[in-house]
Amino acid sequence: MSSSAIKIAPPANPVTVTGVASLASNSALACNVGLGGKRAVEGKKFRVRAEGSAIVAVGTTTVKPQLLAVAGANPPASPLVIGSWTALAGGTAQACPTTGCPWWVECELIIDSNSGLMHGTVAQLVNNTFVAPAAITGVVTGLNGTNSPIGGVAPADPVVTFALGLTLSAAGTVTVANFEISF
């Protein structure tokens, strides 16, 4: 699997409260990245990765990054609310010191258009605390990564759209340095 990005999200605003990272150019919209390509994604493993840093006011403040998804191109009606998306996994909150800490979250995923499902694993690191890869628990359904209808599901482009949820237990600022899809 190569590590070249095929799609990079536009710049995001820093997150200061729990929610979905918003676009730097329009804070009312979620910063998202869509997996397009129809036939190009069927049965092929891909990676969704986000990374950045956090600064908090109190050293016991926790930071929890989560990758979120929705089928197709349309974000949910409340795009900046984490619960409006399908969380691919619950994420694990980790304490961040007042001096700051780096973080990343990454999913390795594959789409099966016959079942309409996406499967994969998620791993994360916050403040040098690694959470080992585990199967995703959030199921996104109705996916078709081919060029023709399957089981009544029409092909979509993008097939699935991803967003980044960030949860802080108290005041802080989380920046997103990179949010991308790669093969």
Q: Which domain holds residue 52?
A: 5-182
pTM of the full structure: 0.92
Q: What is the pLDDT of residues 47-61, one digit of tens each?
A: 999 999 999 988 889
Residue 1, pLDDT > 60, answer no
CA–CA separation, 77 and 82 (whole Å): 11
Domain count of the chain?
1
- As a whole number, mean pLDDT of residues 100-107 equals 96
- As a whole number, mean pLDDT of residues 135-154 equals 87
Tokens 């780096």 correspond to: 102
Q: What's the pLDDT at 3?
A: 53
Q: What is the pLDDT of residues 58-67, one digit of tens each?
A: 888 999 999 9
